[in-house]
Amino acid sequence: MTNRGTRTAEPEARRKTTARGGDSRRQDLLEAAARRFASRGYEGTSIRDIARDVGMLPGSIYYHFTSKEELLVAVHKEGVLQVMEAVRKAVSKAGDDPWDRLTAAAEAHLEALLGKNEFSPVVTPQFTRGFEDPLRSTLIAQRDEYEAFFVSLVNKLPLPSGTSRQLFRLALLGSLNWTLTWYRPGRKKPATLARQMIGLYRKPLE
């Protein structure tokens, strides 16, 4: 890893901007880091690996991020935002029925998690479990808003009296997230799997 004190900024002529006005080189780094973190793990990924993937000098990365840890936080945040955007969009089209809205959220969640999105594996609790504070707390805080959205969906379900909505939500999200460890493409589509999983939780409560 290049010493942080010898940073090399990207030449201005080589810097591009995205359609949203952001630095596309930064986005390239986020995507490359997400792929590496997902396939090799955080400890198994070096700044040099990420730099090589995007055709940059290792020192140039420090123009965008002060450390690998800061890069991880940015990757995790981007992943959470992408999944949250997909889920909110799906729920907005699901109508008013609470179960339909939860089903739409579960479908979008699994489609994002199991689709061709390099960020999704990095935002699961399985990935962040091994980190220590304060980094772990930072990553959990980034997921809090997303999980709060599921809290609002579960709170509106017509569940039997005495049912723990917290346990229901934790069990459902745990089941959805765990599919990343056993799902194999080509068997069932993520949306189909999500609907069936919601059915397993719903039927015993009706």
Q: What is the pLDDT of residues 104-120, one digit of tens each?
A: 999 999 999 888 788 88
**C-alpha count within 13 angstroms, C-beta hemisphere, residue 197:** 26
Q: What is the pLDDT of residues 136-160, one digit of tens each?
A: 999 999 989 899 999 999 999 999 9
pLDDT of residue 15: 40
Burial 124-138 (b: 16+ CB within 10 A, else e): beebbeebeeeeeeb
Q: Is the pLDDT of residue 5 over 70?
A: no
CATH 1.10.10.60 describes domain 7-66: yes
Same fold for the pair 7-66 and 73-205 = no
Quickly state the pLDDT bin for 47 (edges 50, 70, 90).
very high
CATH topology of domain 73-205: Tetracycline Repressor; domain 2 (1.10.357)
pTM: 0.80
d(CA 25, CA 75): 14
pLDDT of residue 101: 97
Section 165-188 average pLDDT: 90
% of the chain at pLDDT higher than 90: 62
Lookup: tokens for 96? 């008013």
Between residues 203 and 195, the one the model is more confident about: 195
pLDDT of residue 31: 94
Give the SS3 label for residue 8.
coil
d(CA 46, CA 176): 30
φ/ψ of 97, rounded to 5, equals -65, 125
Question: Domain spans of the chain?
Answer: 7-66, 73-205
